[in-house]
């Protein structure tokens, strides 16, 4: 028998689409929350069609972001659809949405209205710019939040326009902070019995990751710039070549670790060289030091290089691609990748739940559902609708 999951006493209604809201729902579902995803009855969440590769016309992203969820359909542009969803929300602990501010209010689902029937409801709202302020009503994709939050400006090479990470970083960060806020609000509800609004803005989630960027400008007048593969004044910490054409990342910027690196290089005198003896000095002489290390690393194959570095306790590793993850012993030992059954694609691999809990770990129970797969389960089982009512709603295109 499967072990009970830590959030299996929570019911979550997810009204969001694309990524920022749904990733928050995925995280809660990973630890057992019943996540009821409400989708448009015509075509559902656009994530059902998104993704770079779509074998047999099937999205490979949807099964991941919608894992562990239940799918019901309801046309929220209709009064009947809004009424159905309000009835589900009345039985829920959490509502997640990532529409523009004011959308819930237009649908008759303002927080104050929902709290009349469900005072303990936590309402998690994920947007580009937050629920208040002069930009609140603007359309806010993750890329805009990344730009405004500061990470775009410092990403990439200094002689080129700002780059982006190859993932939806801003959306995902906003979702993680939304999940954190949801759990905090649920903890507070245990004290007060009352729910509250969790307001997660993409640009603020990005800003929260920007380390000391703000005081660097305010106190020191220092503007961070793009620095390519390195961080300013942090050396050595870079990608270095090997004799067999691979790339190995070596991070030995701490004084004690640098001494271990030069021992592995059989050049211990470098640790006494005034250019490299301290963290600050190595930062100033970064380019020269990188050249010395690259000259050494390029004479050794990647496997032998890593063996030398690990034997000395120097943090180092390959830059993994997906295929490397499937072949790696550490990934396998920690079950970092889990395999499930997909109704169309057969065995389906995806990343497992993070973080790992020693006593009550999360679990991926199934891939993303078919559109409206759980209409009967929720509308009949939870709301008690009869056959005639369900048939009427289907005929009217409400569900």
Catalytic residues: 171
Helices and strands in the chain, H and E counts: 17, 11
Rounded-to-integer distance, Cα 29 and Cα 320, Å: 28
Q: In which residue are the tokens 């550490």 written?
A: 330
Concatenating the DSSP letter of every residue in 286-341 gives: HHHHHHHHHHHHTTS-HHHHHHHHHHTT--EEE---HHHHHH-HHHHHTT-EEEEE
DSSP 3-state assignment of 143? helix
Look up residue 37 and give its two tokens.
């995803």
Cα 305 → chain centroid: 33
| Residue 178 burial (CB count, 10 A) | 29
* 61 in Cβ contact with 47 (< 8 Å): yes
Helix (H) or strand (E) run with residue 62 in it: helix 62-65
Q: How many residues are given for the chain? A: 399
Rounded-to-integer distance, Cα 26 and Cα 263, Å: 46
Torsion on CA atoms 61, 36, 128, 49, rounded to nearest 10: 30
Q: Where do runs of H (alpha helix) occur along 76-201? A: 79-89, 103-106, 111-117, 142-149, 169-192
């Amino acid at each position: 028998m499967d072990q009970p999951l830590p959030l299996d006493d929570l019911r979550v209604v997810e009204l969001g689409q694309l990524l920022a809201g749904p990733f928050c729902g995925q995280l809660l579902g990973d630890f057992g929350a019943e996540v009821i995803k409400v989708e448009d009855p015509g075509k559902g969440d656009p994530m059902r069609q998104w993704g770079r590769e779509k074998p047999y016309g099937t999205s490979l992203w949807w099964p991941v972001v919608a894992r562990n969820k239940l799918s019901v359909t309801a046309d929220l542009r209709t009064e009947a659809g809004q009424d159905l969803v309000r009835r589900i929300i009345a039985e829920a602990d959490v509502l997640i949405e990532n529409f523009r501010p004011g959308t819930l209010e237009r649908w008759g689902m303002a927080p104050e209205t929902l709290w009349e029937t469900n005072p303990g409801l936590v309402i998690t709202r994920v947007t580009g710019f937050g629920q208040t302020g002069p930009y609140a009503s603007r359309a806010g994709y993750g890329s805009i939040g990344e730009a405004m939050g500061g990470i775009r400006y410092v990403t990439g090479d200094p002689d080129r326009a700002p780059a982006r990470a190859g993932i939806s970083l801003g959306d995902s960060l906003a979702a993680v902070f939304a999940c954190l806020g949801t759990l905090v609000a649920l903890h507070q509800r245990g004290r007060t019995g009352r729910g509250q609004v969790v307001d997660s803005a993409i640009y603020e989630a990005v800003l929260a990751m920007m380390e000391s960027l703000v005081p660097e400008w305010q106190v020191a007048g220092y503007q961070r710039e793009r620095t390519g593969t390195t961080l300013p004044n942090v050396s050595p910490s870079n990608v270095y070549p090997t004799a067999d054409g691979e790339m190995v990342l070596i991070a030995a910027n701490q004084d004690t670790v640098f001494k271990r690196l030069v021992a592995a290089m059989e050049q211990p005198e470098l640790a006494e060289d005034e250019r490299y003896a301290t963290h600050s000095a190595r930062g100033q002489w970064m380019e020269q030091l990188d050249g010395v290390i690259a000259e050494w690393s390029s004479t050794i194959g990647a496997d032998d290089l890593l063996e030398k570095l690990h034997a000395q306790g120097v943090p180092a590793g390959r830059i993994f691609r997906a295929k490397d993850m499937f072949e790696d012993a550490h990934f396998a030992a920690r079950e970092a990748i889990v395999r499930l059954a997909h109704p169309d694609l057969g065995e389906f691999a995806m990343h497992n739940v993070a973080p790992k809990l020693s006593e009550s770990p999360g679990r991926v129970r199934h891939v993303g559902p078919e559109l409206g797969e759980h209409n009967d389960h929720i509308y009949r089982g939870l709301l008690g609708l009869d056959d005639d009512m369900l048939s009427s709603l289907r005929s009217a295109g409400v569900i």
